[in-house]
Chain A
């Protein structure tokens, strides 16, 4: 079956521009997570969706970052006025309903963002 997909796979942008990153989770997965991996660093949690609501946005680094999810499916992560420190691989993961055995997270291939 189809896994988590993300687009674009690579994005190069100029400082100050806005970017949108897309995540298509596994069909039927209600939980969706965004993480960021900067060069030489571990993965950092950004935001969590349960359905279309985001009960945990604690990892978003600034108000330039926002995310939404529609139809309990696709999610977009938007970064406004990009800065060079935003350069990273942005990874999306989805998971079946909380609780029980179905709590493994399945990751997409990531979007590599480079801000010049």
Chain B
């Protein structure tokens, strides 16, 4: 059974810092990995999706890397801002085949607070 773990559970940093959020998964047979942010009272916003054949994806100040063989992904946020404060979730989609049908397995999330 796939298990996804995110470290740290919570992180508080001053504005302007670069930071790294970690995600690990136990079964390396994944199709892709997706990073989301969740704001209180709102749904999930997709940030980056990395296919299993890719090593990293970048969007603005965000960079996500994937090391499929070791079961790890990191989300790097450059020059953090108070608006980045949210819960960040990592989710993996099982590999093709079988009856997984693309359902995502989520980590518990990292609660990020960026203070001015």
A residues contacting B by CB (< 8 A) are: 4, 6, 31, 33, 35, 41-43, 45, 48, 50, 55-56, 59, 91, 93, 95, 98-99, 101, 103-110, 112
Contacts and interface: CB of A to CB of B under 8 A. Distances in A.
Interface residues of B, number: 28
Interface stretch (B12-20, B38-46, B61-69, B78-86): B38-46
Contacts, number: 65
Given A50-B101, A103-B102, A42 B107 contact: yes
B101 A91 contact: no
Contacts of B107: 42
A59 B91 CA distance: 16
A99 B91 CA distance: 18
A45 B103 contact: yes
Interface of B: 4, 31-32, 34, 36, 41-46, 49, 51, 89, 91, 93, 96, 99-109
